[in-house]
Each structure stands twice: as structure tokens, then as C-alpha cells.
Amino acid sequence: MQENNIQIKHNPPLNVESTEAFLISIFGNEKDTVDDFIYRIKNNICTFTAYNEDNMIGLLTAWKNNFHPYCTYFALAINPVYGNEIAHKLLHCIEDNVIHPIQTTVWETSYFLKSFYEQAGFKEIRRTYMPRLNVAPINIQTYKNQLKPTQGFIYSLKDIEANHDLRSKLIHLVRDTYKKTHTANPVGTIDENQWGKLIFEDDTILEASYVILANDDIVGFALLHASDMPKTLEFGWRGTKNVVDRSALLTLCLNQIKYAKDNQYEFIDAEIDTTDPFQLELMKHLPFAPAPTLITFQKNGV
């Protein structure tokens, strides 16, 4: 590699097809990764590209997230033939010009990028597992026999949707739970109405998303969502008040599995962060299939 041939360009006009071809050459058939990268380029705060003569060899794009406004997100794609040097050059382009910390997420199998971030002073703040649960072999009654009785009554979100007091209590519990599990990258100031929209959004299956009501208070919740995948549902946010109540969490989860079975669904997908003790409780006790892992790295300013 001849140094004189390397050019770094700031916010250059990018041809979508050639950019997509470059990303496919780096990420292979990871369509979601490529599509997300293209989306970020179109909705970013800056993009830097590296060229060797007319050939793109590196691409970095950075953006903000209104839900988590206190850091700057970025994605990086590098032709590994050129090693860490080009990755450092692109990273330096944003490090002095954006709000820190800076944060990125890569698949564990993206070993070049994983190694680069570890060497460049980034800290791993969490791992995210993306496992799938086959509901057919799960004997719901066997699980329930091993759990202590739930203290309280179970209602669906459909049951409580019109009850302003219970709806507000649910929103506060969901908000507080989310904040506790995202301390490394805090959530912004989101009003109750916005939280309500996130909880009761269109893909939330209200009749199979549940709360536990005890002493006129909501002490546990578990959301379930529709999926774009056939015969598949998605586990959503879940939690219990004050402590991780294994029996309550699994009881709500088993109700969701029963709903899936009763409605001819075969799988439930999950997105489980290592910073979320409530979701991790599911992984401890349910037979999820082995799954790919995402690693989130973060770096603070000097």
C-alpha cells in the first residue's frame, strides 16, 4: 500500500449500488447489516470514506439516536487487506468532532473489527444474544409445577389498556426497568405519552402481553410482539418490580408460550442483553437454540 494513494473524503457523494457492493464484499450475505449501514448513511451526521486511487477501501458513518442522545453511534467497514491503519484514520476523523462517548455494535464473528476496537481503547459494555425458542417441545405444565405461586393476578395489556391508572403504573415500571438495564448509555428524557406509544405500539400483541397486579400495583410485566418471520413471535421488554422474581418472569413467559402454541406459532425470537437480568432469566431456564452474538463497544473522550 502506498500512503500517497490513500485519500480520506468527508461526506462525499456516494453511489448506492457501488457502496452496497463494497459493503457486501466486507460483510458477505449479512443483508440486515448491509441494509442498516445504507440506512445510516442516508440519515447520518457525517460520513468518511477511504479510497486507494478510485477503489473504496473503508467507510465510516456516524449518527445520533433521539432515544439515547448522550452518545454518538457509528458503523465502520474496512477492507481487512489494509489492516488497522485505515480504520484508525477513519476513526480519528470523528473522534475529535462528535459528542462522546462513541459507540458501535458488531457481530462477534466480525473478528477484524472486534480486535480493532479492543486495541483502539474501546470497552465492551454488553453482549446481545439473538436466540430462537422452538415452542413445540416445551411442556408448560412441567415448568409451572416447579414454580412457586405468583403473588397477584395476571391480566393482559388488552384488559388494562383503558384503565388510565394501571396504564400509567405499567409505563412507569417499564421506563424504570429500561433505565436500570441501560446505565452505560442512558435513555433521554422521554415523556409518558411516548413511553406509552412504545409499549402499546402496533406490533404489540395486547392479548398475549401480560402484567401482574398485586395490592393495586403492577409488579411485573412481559411484552410479546408480532414478527416479520413466518410462524414466529418476538419476546419484548419484561421485568419485575424491585428484584428479579424468577417465578413471576417465567409464569408470564409460559403464558406467552401457551399463546404461541394455541395459535399455531412455532418459534419465539428473543433479543437478550447481558445487562438485562430479567431477560437473562429466560436464557437460564428455557431451551433456546444456539445463536449469534452482537458485541457493543463504547469509548469515552480523552
Please check whether residues 93 and 163 belong to one and the same domain. no
Residue 163 clears pLDDT 60, i.e. is over it: yes
Quick: pLDDT tens for 40-97: 998 899 999 999 988 999 999 999 999 999 999 999 999 999 889 999 999 999 987 7
- Indicate whether 179 and 208 sit together in one domain: yes
Report how far Cα 48 is from the mean position of its chain's Cα atoms. 25
- Whether 86 is in a domain gets the answer yes
In a domain, residue 222? The reply is yes
pLDDT digits (tens, 9 = 90+) for 256-295: 999 999 999 999 999 999 999 999 999 999 999 999 899 9
pLDDT of residue 205: 99
| Packing angle, helices 111-119 and 83-95, rounded to 10 | 60
Crossing angle, helix 246-262 and helix 277-285, to 10 degrees?
60
- Tell me what the mean pLDDT of segment 230-254 comes to: 95
Give CA–CA dist 232/256, Å, rounded.
Answer: 12
User: Does residue 94 sit in the same domain as residue 148?
Assistant: no
Whether 57 and 202 share a structural domain: no
Point out the least confidently predicted range of 1-10, 165-174, 246-255, 285-294: 1-10
CATH of the domain at 48: 3.40.630.30
For residue 76, the model assigns a pLDDT of 97
- pLDDT at residue 248 above 90? yes
Report the C-alpha gap between 50 and 164 in whole angstroms. Answer: 54
Q: Say whether both 93 and 114 belong to one domain.
A: yes
Same domain, 93 and 188: no
Q: How far apart are CA 33 and CA 24, in angstroms?
A: 9
User: How far, CA to CA in Å, does 12 sit from each of 6, 49, 59, 190?
Assistant: 15, 7, 11, 34
Please compute the mean of the pLDDT values over residues 135-145 and round it to a whole number: 94
264 and 193 belong to one structural domain:
yes
Q: Is 252 helix (H, G, I), strand (E, B) or coil?
A: helix
207 within domain boundaries = yes
**Is residue 31 domain-shared with residue 117, that is, in the same domain?**
yes
**Whether 229 and 283 share a structural domain:** yes
CA distance 40 to 51: 20
121, 140, 175 — which closes off a domain? 121
Query: Where does the pLDDT of residue 1 fall: very low under 50, low under 70, confident under 90, or very high at 90 and above?
Result: very low
Domain match, 58 and 97 both: yes
| Domain C-terminal end among 81, 101, 121 | 121
CB 127 within 8 A of CB 293: yes
Better pLDDT: 104 or 2: 104
| pLDDT digit string, tens, across residues 280-289 | 999 999 999 9
Residue 4 has pLDDT above 90, yes or no: no
Kindly state whether residue 298 falls inside one of the protein's structural domains: no
Quick check: is 187 in a domain?
yes
Q: Which of 18-22, 80-84, 96-100, 101-105 has the lowest mean pLDDT?
A: 96-100
Among 71, 92, 121, residue at a domain's last position: 121
The pLDDT-based confidence of 18 (bands split at 50, 70, 90) is very high
Structural domain containing residue 8: 3-121
Q: What is the pLDDT of residues 182-215, one digit of tens each?
A: 999 999 999 999 999 999 999 999 999 999 999 9
**What per-residue confidence (pLDDT) applies to 302?**
53
pTM above 0.85, yes or no: yes
Kindly tell me if the per-residue pLDDT of 32 is higher than 60.
Answer: yes
Say whether both 149 and 270 belong to one domain: yes
Q: Are residues 280 and 137 in the same domain?
A: yes
- Comparing 18-32, 120-134, 162-176, the range with the smallest average pLDDT is 18-32
Please report whether residue 301 resides in a domain: no
Give the total number of structural domains in the chain.
Answer: 2
